[in-house]
Amino acid sequence: MPKRIFKFTNAQTAFYTGEHFSRLKKIVDIQSAVIITDEHIFLAHQKKFENWNTIVLKPGENFKIQATVDSVIEQLIDMQADRKTILIGVGGGVVTDITGYVASIYLRGISFGFVPTSVLAMVDAAIGGKNGIDVGVYKNMVGSIRQPSFIFYDLAFLNTLPQLEWENGFAEIIKHGC
């Protein structure tokens, strides 16, 4: 499984590229993992989530709020998630933001990783360590800066993207290149 490690000041992140989702079990213990995803991803790829503990969120920026964080934390408590639990955000920017933020505050911090499912999430949201939620009309007003343990790129998720999501992702790539 191709892996590249990037070191940051206080952390390191393993990047797994060109992998199939089924191989995620080789890097995390399925029993101690909890996947966080949204309804769109879950419904489009339901079979991939079989046998995984999964929390399914409402999709969209409107749900990147404290009420969603509270709901996720309550579900983690119900699942008896502990310090050995690893959260895995499978989705776009909203899912990665919520996953990273919850992992930063649940039990004062637990491990997390990402499986980005859009071009934009692959080149921006999943990397950089910024995890935040919106407060009222203010975007990313509350959050944390913490690197994921890993980022796992399964390009098969891109097959279900609508055209606009491709365009958003490539616009971000061009923006970074300028």
**Strand ranges (DSSP E) for 71-167?**
86-91, 111-116, 130-135, 138-145, 150-152
- Exposure string for 117-149, b = 16+ CB within 10 A, e = fewer: bbbbbbbbbbbebbbbbbeeeeeeeebbebbbb
Q: How far is CA 117 from CA 44, 55, 64, 123, 127, in A?
A: 11, 16, 17, 11, 13
Q: Where are the domains of the chain?
A: 3-177
Tokens of 55: 């929390």
113: which residues sit within 8 A by CB, 6+ positions away? 28, 86, 87, 88, 89, 148, 149, 150, 151, 152
Per CATH, which fold does 3-177 belong to?
Answer: Rossmann fold (3.40.50)
Q: Is 168 exposed, middle or buried (0-12, 13-18, 19+ CB in 10 A)?
A: middle
Digitized pLDDT (tens) for each residue of the chain, 178 residues in all? 778 998 888 889 999 998 899 999 999 999 999 999 999 999 999 999 999 999 999 999 999 999 999 999 999 999 999 999 999 999 999 999 999 999 999 999 999 999 999 999 998 888 888 999 999 999 999 999 999 999 999 999 999 888 998 888 888 889 878 7
pTM confidence score: 0.95
